[in-house]
A and B are shown apart, each in its own frame.
Chain A
Amino acid sequence: MKKKLMQFVMGTAILGLAMTTSAAGISSNVVKIGVLTDMSGVYSAIGGKGSVVAAKMAIADFGGKVLGKQIQLISADHQNKADIASTKAREWADTDHVDMITGLLNSGCALAVQKIGTEKKVITMATGAGSTTLTNEHCSPYGIHYVYDTYALPKVAGSAIVDTGGKTWYFLTADYAFGHSLEKNTKAFVKSHGGKVLGQVRHPLATADFSSYLLQAQASGAKVIGLANAGGDFINAVKQAREFGIVQGGQTIAGMLVFLSDVKSLGLDVAQGMNFATSFYWDRDAASRAWSKRYFAKTGAMPTMDQAGVYSAVTTYLKAIKKAGTDNPDTVMKTMRGMKINDFFSINGHLRADGSMVHDMFLVEVKKPSESKSPWDLLKVIKEVPGNEAFMPLSEGSCALVK
């Protein structure tokens, strides 16, 4: 009995091995792109299914093939949990032979996946995460930080607001690493432009009621209340600031990380007049409009900078493969570093040695309801900031890959 069982088990084992070998053979004949994003959690409106649609569009626009080989797309939900993200990325690398992973909406997930990318030689193009550590202490030869970071956003928005008279600041900061980093960087720019920081209050992640914190900010008398948080926290804080008459009382609210979906959720009535920095706005120029309208036709919403960034990242990656004539990650990375990245999303973009994709950033203002002509006519671009001014100079960085 035992012998038979043994035979059966060994037989299955050999069969299993044989099957995976043949699968590996096919896998080298396709280029596989993975979209790993938040499909169910707090950031699903920023990335989510829209990011998958954007990646699909990029592949279709490229003709579905590169160097005569099929391009395949796989996607999964990382639920904003670093362990799920890392498990999925590892599995994709080991069994699906994925060549590039994009998306990655929070820093914890992006760090974990970039780590695995380094180990398994898989290129990662983070479009949703903000942490500058991705291109500094944790930088990787295969890791690209594509859309924005917690240095560029406050640099653009913080400096501009101080320069236009917002000299005193009070911060409402989400009490976790991302919020702290945003707060720290913004403070530095505020001070270097001659502004003053009067104080800050740290609130727990996913706070429903901001009224207590807002009252503290109001009592500080600061001209600007800087919100170093994101998503639902940002929306709640802005809404309630209006409820308590803080904006009417002469204080300005400044969001340090704002996505188009947040403005849409708040509505112009509440958000009007607010300035913030972004990498992308759909109504910026003819090219961005043309693409965004196609995207809108598929999803019913205009793209956030993350979703547009996914399209651009996938396209850039495919172009690099075509140019390099191979999907070998080392060669592709080298090719990408030598490319100019210019498309509807990225203007004057180039990839630096530390993995940062440096491109022009924009200071935008939320329109008044009277200025808006259509449901998605939400922002106007008031200033364009060249990438080299917006992003952290290589000399200030701490990436070990930069000599």
Chain B
Amino acid sequence: MHLSYQMVLAQLMLGLNNGAFYAILSLGLAVIFGLLNIINFAHGAFYMLGAFVALIGYTKLGPLLGMPDFHMNYWAALLISPLVVGLLGVLIEKTMLKRLYKVDHLYGLLLTFGLALILQGIFTNYFNVSGTSYNGKPEILRGVVNLKFMMFPTYRLWSIGLSLGVCFVTWFAIERTKLGSYLRAGTENPGLVQAFGVNVPLMITLTYGFGVGLAAFAGVVAAPIYSVSPIMGSEMIITVFAVVVIGGMGSIMGSIWTGLSLGMLEGLTKVIYPPAANTVIFFMMILVLLIKPAGLFGKEQ
């Protein structure tokens, strides 16, 4: 395989596309980890759920409501799906995760692992595991754009832009606003923040809801590109874990940059040695941990 300059650029673009999804997902994980100290194993399941809310809204909601011609469109799904899933997250935090803050943090990992299995099992029972096409892609985003070095599908370009936008807004909200400063302070010293009159338990609940809402958002954005399938999350989550570990657990900027660059690394691997595409991130992780045990952007404990 000779690598032309165009080919490399094209692969980098495609890698960036996947990397943008890694970035949103690992960002959500990082936010949750930062405040709740929980590794949210169910993150992949919420990503899957987000895609399914969009799919069900598009194909099944109309007939269900007795209006066979009604389709929840893509734009509505972008808003509604994260809300629905975020609410579910709030419910889970209120009823389950809340009871685990006083015990070892590993129990949070185990609980969410169980939740992921439940969600995946339920959807496997009702939907085709090979995937179902989401056909609600808006007209305006169909077609391809000429990028000079390649023809790039418009929707993918949109999905990269949108994902980066969301990542930036989240980063800005946490690092540069007052609300964010409470959040960061809550991570360091919840008792003190509580004493200042901030409702810390509520903040924690909302953070979890927001984190899983982000995952659902990524799910909606991914739905028109990949097939919507019950196992799309479980395939993704392990990779995203590796991204988070490489970036340094809990670092917001770290997870965004690592997500994007690992996506591109993966893209290049697909041309150079395709069979390793699924594993290159794990090799990378071992390498990083040998050199910087706390991850690229993490602080030593």
Contact = CB atoms under 8 A, between A and B. Distances in A.
Task: Note whether A and B contact each other (Cβ less than 8 A).
Answer: yes
Contact of A204 (B1, B267, B278): B278
B235 to A, nearest CB: 6
A235 B129 CA distance: 11
Contacts of A208: 226, 232, 235-236
A231 B128 CA distance: 10
A316 B128 CA distance: 30
A81 B189 CA distance: 48
Contacts of A216: 1, 7, 271
Contacts of A244: 144, 151, 153
A41 interface: yes
A215 B153 CA distance: 12
Given A232-B131, A239-B227, 20 more contacts: A45-B128, A206-B235, A208-B236, A209-B18, A212-B11, A212-B267, A212-B277, A215-B7, A215-B150, A216-B7, A216-B271, A232-B129, A232-B229, A235-B133, A236-B226, A244-B153, A261-B128, A261-B130, A265-B130, A267-B133
Nearest to A233: B130
Contact of A209 (B121, B133, B225, B275): B225
Those 6 A-B pairs whose CB atoms lie nearest each other, nearest first? A212-B270, A232-B130, A204-B278, A45-B128, A231-B130, A208-B226
A243 B267 CA distance: 18
Contact of B14 (A44, A209, A267): A209
Contact of B7 (A201, A219, A243): A219
Nearest to A203: B274
Contacts of A209: 14, 17-18, 225-226
A266 interface: yes
A42 interface: yes
Given A236-B227, A243-B153, A215 B10 contact: yes
Interface string A247-283: 0000000000000011001110110000000000000
Contacts, number: 105
Interface string B7-19: 1001100110110
A175 interface: yes
A212 B267 CA distance: 7
Contacts of A243: 153, 155-156, 225
A40 interface: yes
Chain B interface: which size bin?
A: 35 or more
Interface in A179-220: 201-204, 206-209, 211-213, 215-216, 219
Given A215-B14, A216-B271, A243-B153, A42 B7 contact: no
A105 to B, nearest CB: 12
Interface of B: 1, 7, 10-11, 14-15, 17-18, 121, 124-125, 128-133, 135, 144, 150-151, 153, 155-156, 225-227, 229, 231-232, 235-236, 267, 270-271, 274-275, 277-278
A267 B278 CA distance: 28
Most central of A175, A206, A243 by chain B CB within 10 Å: A243
Contacts of B231: 42, 206, 232
A397 interface: no
Contact of A45 (B7, B121, B129, B135): B129
B14 A265 contact: no
Given A209-B226, A232-B131, A202 B275 contact: yes
A221 interface: no
A325 interface: no
A265 B274 contact: no
Interface in A31-81: 40-46
Contact of B129 (A42, A215, A269): A42
A213 B267 CA distance: 10
